[in-house]
Amino acid sequence: MRKKIGQVRQLLIALVGTAIIWGTQGAGLILAQASAEQSLFHTYAKPIAAPDFSLENLQGKIVHLKDYRGKAILLNFWATWCPNCRQEAHSFNTLQAKYLSQGLEIYRINTKESRETILKFTEKNSIATPILLDKTGKVGRLFGVWAHPTSYLVDRRGMVRYRVVGQADWAGREALRVIHLLLGEK
Amino acid sequence: MKKLRAFIFVFALLAWQGCAGTPRVPENNPLIPLGKANVQAVFEENEGLEILPEDAKELRDFYRGGVQQKAKAEKEFREKAYPEAMKLYRSSNEFFQTLIQYIDEDAAAYNLFEGTDILFFPNLLTADNHLKIGLICQTMGRDWRAKYNWKRALSLVKKSLSTERTEWGLALEQELLSLLAAQQK
Could you report the per-residue pLDDT of B129-139, keeping only the tens digit for each?
999 999 999 99
**For helices A2-37 and B2-20, what crossing angle results, to 10°?**
30
Asked if A45 has any chain B CB less than 8 Å from its own CB, the reply is: yes
Give residue A183's pLDDT band: very low, low, confident or very high (50, 70, 90). Answer: very high
Model confidence at A164: pLDDT above 90: yes
Model confidence at A42: pLDDT above 70: yes
Query: Distances from the Cα of A98 to the Cαs of A77, A91, A178, B177, in angstroms?
Result: 21, 11, 15, 64
CB contact (8 A) between residue A165 and residue B58: yes
Give the CATH number of domain A40-184: 3.40.30.10
User: B43, exposed or middle or buried, with CB in 10 Å at 0-12, 13-18, 19+?
Assistant: middle
Asked if A114 has any chain B CB less than 8 Å from its own CB, the reply is: no
Residue of B9, B48, B51 lying closest to A142 (CB–CB): B48
- Give the Cβ contact number of residue B8 at 10 Å: 11
The whole-model pTM stands at: 0.78
Model confidence at B18: pLDDT above 90: no
Query: What's the mean per-residue pLDDT of chain A?
Result: 86
Model confidence at A28: pLDDT above 60: no
What's residue A24's pLDDT? Answer: 46
Model confidence at A58: pLDDT above 80: yes
What's residue B49's pLDDT? Answer: 94
Q: Where are the domains of chain A?
A: 1-38, 40-184
Model confidence at B1: pLDDT above 70: no
Chain A neighbors of B46, CB-CB under 8 A:
141, 144
Residue of B51, B64, B116 lying closest to A137 (CB–CB): B116
- At A42, give phi and psi (nearest 5°): -85, 125
**Per the omega criterion (within 30 degrees of 0), is the bond before B53 cis?**
no
What's residue B38's pLDDT? Answer: 98
Q: Give the bridge partners for A154, in sequence order.
A: A73, A160
Name the residue of chain A whose CA is nearest to B7's CA.
A14
Higher pLDDT, A126 or B94: B94
Do residues B125 and B39 lie in contact, with contact meaning Cβ atoms separated by under 8 Å? Answer: yes
Q: Which residues contact B61 (CB under 8 A, 6 or more apart)?
A: A144, B51, B55
- Give the Cβ contact number of residue A2 at 10 Å: 6
What's residue B15's pLDDT? Answer: 62
| Out of A58-62, A88-92, A136-140, B170-174, least confident range | A88-92
**Hey, what domains does chain B have and what are their CATH numbers?**
34-184 (1.25.40.10)
Model confidence at B16: pLDDT above 90: no
Q: Which residues contact A163 (CB under 8 A, 6 or more apart)?
A: A41, A42, A44, A150, A151, A152, A153
Average of pLDDT values for B112-119? 89
- At A58, give phi and psi (nearest 5°): -65, -25
Average of pLDDT values for A143-156? 95
The interface residues of chain A toward chain B in range 25-44, judged by CB-CB distance below 8 A, are 28-29, 32, 35-36, 42, 44
Residue of A7, A29, A45 lying closest to B55 (CB–CB): A45
Chain A neighbors of B115, CB-CB under 8 A:
111-112, 137
What's residue B7's pLDDT? Answer: 67
Model confidence at B23: pLDDT above 60: no
Interface test with chain B among A146, A152, A165, by most B beta carbons within 10 Å: A146
Asked if B17 has any chain A CB less than 8 Å from its own CB, the reply is: yes
ipTM of the complex model: 0.74
Average of pLDDT values for A143-153? 94
Average of pLDDT values for B118-128? 97
Query: Distances from the Cα of A80 to the Cαs of A58, A85, B113, B176, in angstroms?
Result: 14, 7, 13, 47
